[in-house]
């Protein structure tokens, strides 16, 4: 079995939003609407980029990958959340819970490193414009994406294997899906080593790509400030602003969730943070990129005109 000995507990009970049961119908409608909008928005972005030859560049290749990741990332947890809001407390088998944790971490960590790859791409485009096409070739782009998925796989396997091979002293998870932190509360005995492991892995999965992003933007800013034309400066900053907004949204919420000691956790706050980076951010990503990117807006308008002509 890939996740090792799953100890004696055979299933978990996801408590979800039991403390605000009167708001569950409203939450169901809101989250289902957000889910449908996210699927539609990210699918449209990926389709438009693949259909428009002028957008077949490294920047938009990464954006397509980001849209696909967001769809998968959200689809791992939304069905469970909606089930929770429909029937109340949800029973989930340990194997299904382990798979959910693995894929949630896999897609989440892959997105962290993909955002770093996108920052590196923008840095090379602005700092080395004459050599950009040579440096950011097809092989390097695919390797960066593959590396993101490999890192996601490694982190997912480490966390999931250790968590579900440890002895558990309970089955009630005070969350709406199988998240790491609520499951830590179910471990028997001294959980300090496990908490340290979570922080160490989070430093690798969150801070290492984040520092690469910071380094890339330092290079971008220093290069832009040396440009003599104000128009060139504005154009350079505009190509990075969308990515920077996405980074702030994703890393801000994810970092505040995983890079803090266990004693500072609060179930209601953690649920809000989880919703922020796992539900809201995937919806905002295509909105930010489409509204702040002239090429994407142009491709969307062109596709819309073609549809109108057909009808």
Tens of pLDDT, residue by residue over 40-66, are 988 988 888 888 888 889 988 998 999
Q: How confident is the model at residue 152 (pLDDT cuts 50, 70, 90)?
A: very high
> Does 18 or 66 have the greater pLDDT score?
66
Rg (CA), the chain: 21
Mean pLDDT for the chain?
Answer: 83
- Using one digit for the tens of pLDDT, what is the confidence trace for 163-183? 888 888 888 888 888 888 888
Distance, CA of 141 to CA of 61 (rounded, Å): 8
172 DSSP assignment: E
- Using one digit for the tens of pLDDT, what is the confidence trace for 202-231? 888 888 998 999 999 889 888 888 877 776
Distance, CA of 176 to CA of 155 (rounded, Å): 21
What's the rounded mean pLDDT across residues 25-30?
Answer: 89
List residues bridging with 172 in a β-sheet.
13
- Go through the domains of the chain in sequence order and give each one's CATH number: 14-303 (1.20.1070.10)
**Range in 77-86, 90-99, 187-196, 251-260 with the lowest mean pLDDT:** 251-260
Distance, CA of 59 to CA of 213 (rounded, Å): 15
**DSSP string spanning 9-60?**
--EEEE-TTGGGGGGHHHHHHHHHHHHHHHHHHHHHHHHHHHH-GGG-SHHH
> Does 303 or 106 have the greater pLDDT score?
106
In angstroms, how far apart are the furthest CA atoms of the chain? 67
Tell which residue, 146, 147, 125, has the closest CA to residue 136: 125
Phi, psi of 14 (to 5 degrees): -85, 115
% of the chain residues with pLDDT over 70:
89
Distance, CA of 234 to CA of 129 (rounded, Å): 16
| pLDDT score recorded for residue 114 | 94
| pLDDT score recorded for residue 68 | 92
> Does 173 or 276 have the greater pLDDT score?
173
């Amino acid at each position: 079995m890939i996740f090792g000995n799953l100890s004696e507990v055979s299933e978990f009970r996801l408590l979800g939003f039991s403390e605000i049961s009167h708001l569950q119908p409203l939450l169901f409608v809101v989250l289902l609407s957000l889910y449908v909008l996210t699927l539609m928005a990210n699918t449209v972005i990926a389709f438009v980029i693949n259909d428009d030859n002028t957008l077949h560049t490294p920047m938009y290749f990464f954006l397509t990958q980001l849209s696909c990741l967001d769809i998968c990332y959200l689809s791992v947890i939304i069905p469970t959340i909606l089930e929770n809001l429909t029937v109340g407390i949800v029973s989930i088998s340990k194997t299904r819970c382990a798979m959910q944790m693995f894929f949630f971490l896999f897609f989440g960590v892959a997105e962290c490193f993909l955002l770093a790859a996108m920052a590196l791409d923008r840095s090379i485009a602005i700092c080395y414009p004459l050599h950009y096409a040579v440096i950011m070739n097809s092989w390097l782009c695919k390797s960066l994406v593959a590396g993101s998925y490999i890192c996601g796989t490694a982190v997912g396997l480490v966390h999931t294997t250790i968590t579900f091979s440890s002895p558990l002293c309970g089955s009630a998870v005070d969350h709406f899906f199988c998240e790491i932190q609520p499951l830590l509360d179910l471990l028997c005995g001294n959980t300090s080593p496990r908490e340290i492991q979570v922080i160490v892995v989070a430093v690798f999965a969150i801070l290492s790509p984040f520092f690469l992003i910071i380094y890339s933007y330092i290079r971008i800013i220093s290069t832009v400030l040396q440009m003599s034309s104000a128009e060139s400066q504005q154009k350079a900053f505009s190509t990075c602003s969308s990515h920077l907004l996405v980074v702030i949204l994703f890393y801000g919420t994810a970092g505040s969730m995983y890079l803090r000691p266990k004693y500072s956790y609060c179930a209601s706050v953690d649920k809000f943070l989880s919703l922020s980076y796992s539900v809201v951010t995937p919806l905002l990503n295509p909105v930010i990129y489409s509204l702040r990117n002239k090429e994407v807006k142009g491709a969307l308008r062109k596709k819309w005109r073609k549809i109108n002509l057909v009808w």
